[in-house]
Amino acid sequence: MDVSRQQESSVGAAVPTPASKRPLLVRLASLKWAAETVSAGVQVVAIIAAGVWAFYSFIYEDRIKPANEPLAMVATTELEKVGRRGDMVAVQVRGSIRNVGKAPLRLLLSTVNVYGVQVDTKPSKLLSTSNEILPDTVNRIRYLRKTQEEVIFTFGRRYKGGGGSQYDTYLNPEEEVRILSTVLYVNRRQFDQVNSKFVYFFGRAEITWPVELVYASDGSVGGKARRCSEANCPVDTDTSAILSLW
């Protein structure tokens, strides 16, 4: 009786793990924990790197870097004969601007002045040939000198960025905007040529800077900006064209 109970009790009891196998299981568990730790660390690093790349690509490249780039705009103007009736010549005046920089810009003010010009067909005095010291720039005309100039068309517009109340114009990089396209009728008996001059004031897209439209004594219209000593001061540029009516 004692022997059978001893055998039954030995069969029902759990078999203990041999002491020789315990270090191997501990090492396997340690290796698994270390692998999981490394995997989690790699995932965290990947998430951080993705966040840094997203910040660089979408915030720095698109917002911060362009905001620090210098403004650059190209202005063009054209004068073209588009018709004639008797002594009246139809002249088309066109002007446009293009943002060639990397930062968006905002137009503050634009002015256009077109002049009718008379020239003198009589020759002037002989040009001096004396051995004199000349200035940095020399501009002398022997024949057909400009003798009279008259304003025949003016256009000026102050935009919201410059304190205006109606018009607002933004230009993204590589965007182009037509500022003016009109046809003037000029008497070729009164004028020998037509000159045009476009002037633009512009600044960064996020700024507002007061500018004013002013008239000159000859009837032309111009622009005037408040004195500025800051980093984001407005910029002005101009372009001109000449067309002979002969």
Q: What is the DSSP letter of 104?
A: -
Structure tokens at 4: 């059978």
| pLDDT value for 137 | 75
Apex 224 CA angle, 160 and 136, nearest 5? 135
Report d(CA 133, CA 111) in Å as an integer: 38
Which pLDDT score is estimated for 148?
85
Tell me the average confidence (pLDDT) per consecutive run of 10 residues in the chain, 246 residues long.
Answer: 48 51 60 66 71 62 66 94 96 97 93 93 63 69 77 96 90 94 96 96 89 92 83 87 94
How many angstroms separate the CA atoms of 178 and 75, rounded? 10
Q: Are 109 and 208 in contact (CB under 8 A)?
A: no
Q: Is 26 helix (H, G, I), strand (E, B) or coil?
A: helix
